[in-house]
Amino acid sequence: MNTHTTPEHFVFLLVPEFSHLAFSCAVEPLRIANLVSGTELYRWSFAAENGTTATCSNGSVTQVHHGYADLPPCDRLFLLSGIHVADHVGQALLGTLRRAARSPAAIGALCSGAYILARAGMLNGMNAAIHWEFHDGFMEEFPKVNLLRNVFVTDAKHITAAGGTATADLMLHLIETAHGSDLAIAVADQMVYNAVRDASAEQRVSLQSRHGMRNAHLARAIQIMQDTLESPVSPAEIADDIGISVRQLERLFGRYLNCSPKKYHVEMRLERARNLLIQTDRSVTEVAYATGFESPGHFSRVYRASFGLSPSKQKAKIT
């Protein structure tokens, strides 16, 4: 927990057509943390190339404090972009990032911002998160980056978040890390935000929706998995049901979701189990059988391997 009395300074570098939703979800938790604690724990300022204003994707215009050439010293610098991100990555922005990388500031990215970090060569060999809309193109353009489906990633040099409300999840995580869970919970309560996710949560709904629209076989396979969480079926049974070979099924999951059908189904069941542990009073044994695990012991081992804590500790953490 952070014991420093000096406010932590965040600078948000706003790229044209940035996401206003992600912007609000980034700044408001910091403001509320100051309000709830009665202490200036955080300061923030905004930067854009022209040093005057930045326009987001919904047309709103935000006044900024700094240009690229006069970024102030800060503790964290977050890139915040949105749609058409590739159109806005010029040498001025890349040069600014490389200069910032030589400073003590921790550099991160929100929404599509991971694309800019990757273009600057700053994510090679690292885990990263980006909004689901950019997944396919990102994976092809930057094969050296280990792109995850997580809502945010903090176990890398550069923190990344998928945008939207995932940005709020990340900020609440940072508040909890620096100032404790009580403050993070109080901030979430002020936001009327009762579905806070940790980094292991995935952008599952959006991914299923997107890939389902693009490939009917994949959509059907995911639906079968969703319908059989309590009594899982094998990839062979799924392939047979939708009229393709197991190899074709595996290729679909590899191409669109970067994992095997079996792994994806297990992850769905674990996510369901996590939600049941957090949101209901069901026992660990009841949750194990409700999500298709053969025994509570097996469930606990798989759950711990995925989330880093046992199901019983997950319940205790919530209660």
Averaged in consecutive runs of 10 residues, what is the pLDDT profile of the chain (319 residues)?
Answer: 74 97 97 96 97 97 96 97 94 95 96 96 95 81 90 92 92 94 91 69 53 73 91 95 95 88 93 81 91 93 91 75
Of 25, 67, 61, 60, the closest CA to residue 45 belongs to: 67
Which is it for strands 160-161 and 152-153: parallel, antiparallel or unpaired? antiparallel
- CA-CA distance, 108 to 203, in Å (whole number)? 19
Query: Mind listing the domains of the chain with CATH numbers?
Result: 8-190 (3.40.50.880), 204-318 (1.10.10.60)
Q: From residue 113, how far is each of 18, 69, 224, 300, 319 by CA, in Å?
A: 9, 19, 34, 36, 35
- CA-CA distance, 244 to 239, in Å (whole number)? 5
Amino acid at 203: Q
Name the token pair of 295: 């025994």
State pTM to two decimals.
Answer: 0.68
Angle at 184 between CA 21 and CA 299, to 5 degrees: 95
Buried/exposed 216-230: b ≥16 CB within 10 Å, e otherwise: ebbbbbbebbeebbe
Cα first-last separation, the chain: 21
SS3 (DSSP) at 119: helix
Q: Identify the pLDDT of residue 150.
A: 85
